[in-house]
Each structure stands twice: as structure tokens, then as C-alpha cells.
Amino acid sequence: MKKQRKKRRIFKATASVLYCVLVITLIVGCFIDEDSASLVRINQSNAAQMSELYLFNPYRDVDWDSVGHYRANLHAHTNRSDGRHTPAYVIAKYQELGYDFLAITEHNRVTYPWTDFGHIPRPQKGGLFDGLTTQAIAGNELSRGHHVVSLFTDFNAHWWRHRNARDKLTAGSAHGSGEGRFFLAHPGRYVPHPQFLDLPFWGHNLEFYVGMYLDFPSLVGMEVFNQADRYRHDRKIYDRVLSELMPHRPVWAIAADDNHGRHYGFNKVTMLLTEPTIDNFRQGLERGVFFSSSFGRFNPQKLDEQAGQAGARWDYVPSVERIDVCAQTGYINIIANNYTDIIWTTYRGREAGRGGIINYRQNSHAYRFLRATLVNEIDGELIAQTLVQPFGIGEYCSDSWWFYF
Ligand SMILES: [Zn+2]
């Protein structure tokens, strides 16, 4: 009797240990990275195609000597949705910080044109709009399901008919004369950990993101910095999406304040334009002719206070002066200011190199895309960073990739 009970106990213990091992194996299996498998693929591909690689350079038409650099925030809230301040205050604040363009993007609400809202003073002598140089970009944050920031259009999603990102983009892209352009806001909110991208049952997995970008040409970008740096793995999601889509379907990196009252001037987009018009801005956004910068978790207000001047913070942000590409040799050369290092990222977020110069033909990691991040550290503290848009690396030459519109 006693022996039997002992046997049963041993059996039970063994069974539960086995069960635990099985469960752990399953969990680890789900989350394991396929890095080793893809590494082989990269090396094979690079070795075979080394001499046949083409670089798709979003900045190739830029005349660096004459182009203007224009500061923009493409995501902001006022008290017309859940922001703290009035539209007038928000506009004045961005004007003060030297922004050339601002999109007010309420939740499912259009605050545009700015002058149409009762609590925004109309242009008048001595009023807010005297000397206002910040230009308005029509905007809206379509906020059911995955948030989508909508620009250049007064489109507003229907509260019942457009329930998810796909519905909203289908309707938004067709609205008006199709002038709307869109980007996905804070993907990190919908993907609790980058490994969730590989889970088939997860609604916002890699298949979802890739499908959205393939199906909607009007979806031009993805937020990689939101507010300060609210969702740290936004960039990891971004790199996974690029790894699937590049070089033929670029997705541009966007840093935006998503300001609700506490994040004025933490992030910006620097658009390269010959003339600062709304049409030119839209084209620049489509073709990735811009940089995205962020102070991340560093509070830039400190820099303004130190200098006693609003906007003094911008002197600490890495700024790109020119990018030279030599197709014959394969060199990409970035000339910039206010930075301490440049980090090159490629397939699946892997680091491909450091410094201003990289060779996309000879670099053994470079696969499908290369993108540069310029960082500025002072005494070991990361103050600000600037993201250069991804260069596509392809095995045959095609110009179609950016001419969707
Ligand atoms: Zn928002």
C-alpha cells in the first residue's frame, strides 16, 4: 500500500516535471528568433549579388547647397479632443519653438482650417495671427482600432462604419480627390513585445503591418518616436516591417510629439524643400525627403532654460547637411553637425556599422535596407538623435518604388 502510494507520487512528480518542460519548450519555441536561419540567407544573397546591388536613395534629387530645412510636428492635440490647451495656445507654442508646419490631429475630429474655430482668434492686428509663420496642415487622428494619423485632408472616420485601420484607410484614401496621406501612430501600443509580431493569432502582427503598407499607397510612414519616447520598441517594429518590405516598398520613419500639453518640441520632422508650400510638403512626405529627430527621454526644456531662449534646444539635435552616394564604389557618406556617433541599422534591426561612411556593396550585414541614426551624447547622456530615412538595397534597378502617386 505504502509502496504503491510512493510510486504514484514519483509518477506524479515526473509527470509534472515533464509537463513543465513541455510548456517551457513551447513558450520558448514561440519566442525564439530565427536569426541563425536568416543569417545564412543574407550571406548567400550578398555573396551572389555583390556586384549587382542598386541603392534606392530617397535624397537623390536634393540639391544640398540650396535646399531649405523646415521643421514640422505632424501629431498634436488641443482641448478640442483630450489635449490640455486651446488651439490658439498650441499654435502659439509651436510658432515660438520655430516650427514651420503643424498638424493639429484631434481624435476623430478635424480642427482645420485653424481660423474656423471660435476660440482661435481670427487674424487681426495685435492678435495671435499677426506674424504667424507656422503653416497649418489639415489633420486628424483616426482613433478606433490602430490609431492612424491622417494629413492634408478633412476626412473624418464614421464612428460606426470605420471600425479598424483598414476601414479607415479605405475610406480616407478615397476621400476628396485622394489628397490624404497617412501614417500609423505609436505601433508599440499595439504590439506589447516585438516577438508578438510573429504570433499568428495576434491582430497586430507582422502580417497586419505588411498588408497595410502593401494595400494602401497613401500610408506613407510609421511613428518611431511618440511624445518623448513612449513606446521604446516602436523602432524595433519599424525595422521588422522594413525587413519585409524593402527595398521596393519604403515606409518612412516619423518622430512626432503627440502633444497633449506636456510634450512641446520633443520631436520633429525636418522636411527638405525648395519652397515651403503644403503641396511640396506632401510630396516630400511621400518620397521620404526628410529626417526625424527626437530628444527621447531627455527633457529639452532644460536646454531652453539654460540658454534663456525658446528653441535653443535645436542646437543640440544632429542635423544632416548633405548625403553623398557613389553608385560605382558603393559608398554612402553623411555630412552632419551636432552628433557624436552614427549607427547604421539593417535587416531585422541588426547593426551594420558606425560612422559617417558606409559601403553598401562591401558591408557583409547590409541587406534590403540601411538606415542611419545620428546620436548626440554629452557626458555619456543621450541628448538627441536624428533618423535618416532608409536606403533600399535591391538586386535590380527599378524606379517605380517611390512613384506611387
Ligand atoms: Zn495622438
Binned at pLDDT 50, 70 and 90, residue 308 comes out as very high
- The grid coordinates listed for 231 are 513606446
> Which pairing describes strands 219-226 and 181-184: parallel, antiparallel, or unpaired?
parallel
Q: Mean of the per-residue pLDDT values for the chain?
A: 88
Please give the distance, rounded to the nearest whole angstrom, from the Cα atom of residue 243 to the centre of ligand 1. 26
Q: Report the chain's C-alpha Rg in angstroms.
A: 24
Please give the distance, rounded to the nearest whole angstrom, from the Cα atom of residue 136 to the centre of ligand 1. 17
**What's the whole-number mean pLDDT along residues 218-240?**
97
More confident residue, 31 or 136: 136
Please give the distance, rounded to the nearest whole angstrom, from the Cα atom of residue 105 to the centre of ligand 1. 7
pLDDT (tens digit per residue) in 67-117: 999 999 999 999 999 999 989 889 989 999 999 999 999 999 998 988 777
Please give the distance, rounded to the nearest whole angstrom, from the Cα atom of residue 285 to the centre of ligand 1. 19
Q: Does 26 reside within a domain?
A: no
- The grid coordinates listed for 89 are 495656445
Q: What is the CATH classification number for the domain harbouring 271?
A: 3.20.20.140
CB 81 within 8 A of CB 109: yes
> What would the DSSP string read from start to end of 113-175?
SGGGSTTSPPS-TTSTTTT--PEEE-EEEE-SSS-EEEESS-----TTT--SHHHHHHHHHHS
- The CA distance from 159 to 142, in Å, is 10
Please give the distance, rounded to the nearest whole angstrom, from the Cα atom of residue 263 to the centre of ligand 1. 12
For position 358, what pLDDT does the model report?
A: 98
CA distances from 269 to 160, 187, 260, 328, 388 (A): 33, 18, 18, 31, 11
Kindly compute the dihedral angle of the four CA atoms of residues 54, 251, 283, 366, in this order, to the nearest 10 degrees: -30
Q: Does 14 reside within a domain?
A: no
Q: Does 17 reside within a domain?
A: no
CA distances from 160 to 17, 58, 106, 109, 144 (A): 50, 38, 18, 15, 10
Q: Does 238 reside within a domain?
A: yes
Q: Does 217 reside within a domain?
A: yes
Residues with CB under 5 Å of ion ligand 1 are 141, 258
pLDDT (tens digit per residue) in 52-61: 788 999 999 9
Please count the structural domains in the chain. 1
- The CA distance from 134 to 136, in Å, is 7
Q: Does 1 reside within a domain?
A: no
| Domain coverage including residue 238 | 49-402
Q: Does 266 reside within a domain?
A: yes
pTM for this predicted structure: 0.85
Q: Does 343 reside within a domain?
A: yes
Please give the distance, rounded to the nearest whole angstrom, from the Cα atom of residue 59 to the centre of ligand 1. 29
pLDDT score of 259 more than 90: yes
Please give the distance, rounded to the nearest whole angstrom, from the Cα atom of residue 148 to the centre of ligand 1. 9
